[in-house]
Amino acid sequence: MSQRASQGISRPALYILLVVVSVGGLFLGLRFQIENVSTQFSQSFELEMRATAEEDFLREFVVEVPVAILSLTSEMDQIIITYWALGGLITGDRIVDLSEWRDQFDSIEIRGFFLPGEYSVEVSITDRILRLEFSP
């Protein structure tokens, strides 16, 4: 048996293994952080929307949009919060369900441009359309 074969893993292979394990660990940590931030945003946004519903959808509140939030869209009586990072390797949706108040509106319209930062959200119902206007 050669002396090289009895030494085990070569240094370049060991370095590659360390890099792969490190990158994998960073990816998992980032994924956890992004999911955590988007969940916190979704929960606070849902609490604000529920408080707004109690005031007949005539209210203004402030939200802090984190980096992980890509878009807010609507579908029927739900607001869909989509997060996206690392070129689509980390993605997901959170849903704010407003079906309890469906008798007050027919559709949801969301306006605004979403970059990280603080936004004022003006909520109103006009012509049976629930409108959310985000402004910096």
Beta bridge mates, 107: 129
Give the pLDDT mean for 83-96.
82
Q: Give the whole-number percent of the chain exceeding pLDDT 90.
A: 25
pLDDT at 126 over 50: yes
34 vs 83: CA distance, rounded Å: 8
Those residues whose C-beta lies under 8 Å from the C-beta of residue 34, and which sit 6 or more positions away, are 68, 83, 85, 90
Tens digit of pLDDT for each residue in 38-81? 888 889 999 999 899 888 888 899 998 887 777 888 988 899 98
Triad 19, 24, 28: Cα angle to 5°: 150
Q: Is the pLDDT of residue 122 over 90?
A: yes
- pLDDT at position 80: 92
pLDDT score recorded for residue 1: 46
List the structure tokens of 102.
């469906």
Give the torsion sign (CA, 121, 126, 128, 129).
negative
pLDDT of residue 7: 64
Residue 50 to residue 31: CA distance in whole angstroms: 28
What is the pLDDT of the chain when averaged over all its residues?
A: 85
Q: Is residue 113 over pLDDT 70?
A: no
Please state, in angstroms and rounded to a whole number, the distance separating the CA atoms of residues 17 and 11: 10
Q: Which residue's structure tokens are 């109103």?
A: 124
Q: Is residue 126 left, alpha or beta, with left meaning phi > 0 and alpha meaning psi from -120 to 50?
A: beta
